[in-house]
């Protein structure tokens, strides 16, 4: 039985190669890779703190096994845009003085 597997994923456009155990979640892997913008909230997929785009579709990274992201593209909120090319979501947060705590907004 295979307990670890090499996984190649793209995170915010950057290629990453990692070896992970079968039970490791995408959230845990992203945090290990330094993506602190992805947070652990409820660990049930309810709060949205762990939400990322996986091949352009929103998923709860706390419920997604890292193995399921193999060969796919992951985008965190950090990868949506930056100071010079803010994503409409980021612009709305700035314009309305919103905070991304992760409990009421992903």
Whether pTM > 0.85 for this model: the answer is: no
How is the chain split into domains, by residue range? 4-95
Does the domain at 4-95 match CATH 3.10.20.30? Answer given as yes
For 13-19, the CB contacts below 8 A with 24+ separation are 13/73, 13/79, 18/66
Output 59-64 pairs: Cβ under 8 A, ≥24 positions apart.
Answer: 59/26, 61/25, 61/26, 61/27, 61/30, 62/25, 62/26, 62/27, 63/25, 64/25, 64/26, 64/27
> pLDDT per residue over 17-49, tens digit each?
999 999 999 999 999 999 998 999 888 988 888
Cβ atoms of 74 and 52 closer than 8 Å: yes
Q: What is the pLDDT of residues 56-87, one digit of tens each?
A: 999 999 999 999 999 999 999 889 887 788 87
């Amino acid at each position: 039985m295979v307990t670890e597997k090499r996984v190649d994923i793209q995170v915010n456009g950057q290629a990453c190669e990692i070896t992970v155990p079968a039970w490791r979640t995408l959230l845990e892997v992203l945090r290990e890779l330094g993506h602190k913008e992805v947070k652990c909230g409820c660990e049930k997929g309810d709060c949205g703190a762990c939400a990322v785009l996986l091949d352009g579709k929103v998923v709860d990274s706390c419920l997604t096994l890292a193995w399921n992201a193999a060969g796919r593209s992951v985008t965190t909120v950090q990868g949506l845009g930056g100071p010079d090319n803010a994503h409409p979501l980021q612009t709305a947060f700035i314009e309305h003085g919103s905070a991304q705590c992760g409990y009421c907004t992903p």
